[in-house]
Structure 1
């Protein structure tokens, strides 16, 4: 999980916010909407993963050496 440090560097989040806003052409409402939609998608993915684990199915992992 998240382990807070005494000297927390916030610049990563500032850059991520700037990037998200830029991707939505500076429209803050569109940025918030896109982030909410992305969060809902990730929550649905997590629920599916939990359901698979509860059913005894191991999630499939695919690895790619394309780097």
Structure 2
């Protein structure tokens, strides 16, 4: 049987949980769905930022190569 994962206690986490549950009218299923949706949004944002970082890195490398050649 897998061991239980323990998370660090933080009053701000407790408050955030209470607020989200209240925003979902106390419905645990709606609360979980809201968290999944927020997580998917953040994963999409992260993927886009990583793609931009890779693209910018390529631009920087190309411009440095041109500067070195000059």
TM-score normalised by structure 2 residue count: 0.66
- Structure 2 residue ranges without an equivalent (≥5): 1-7, 58-70
Give runs of ≥4 in structure 1 deviating > 3 Å: none
- Determine which structure has the larger helix proportion and give its number: 2
1:17 aligns with 17
2:68 aligns with none
RMSD after superposition: 1.5
Larger Rg over CA atoms: 2
- Structure 1 residue ranges without an equivalent (≥5): 1-7, 58-67
Aligned length: 50
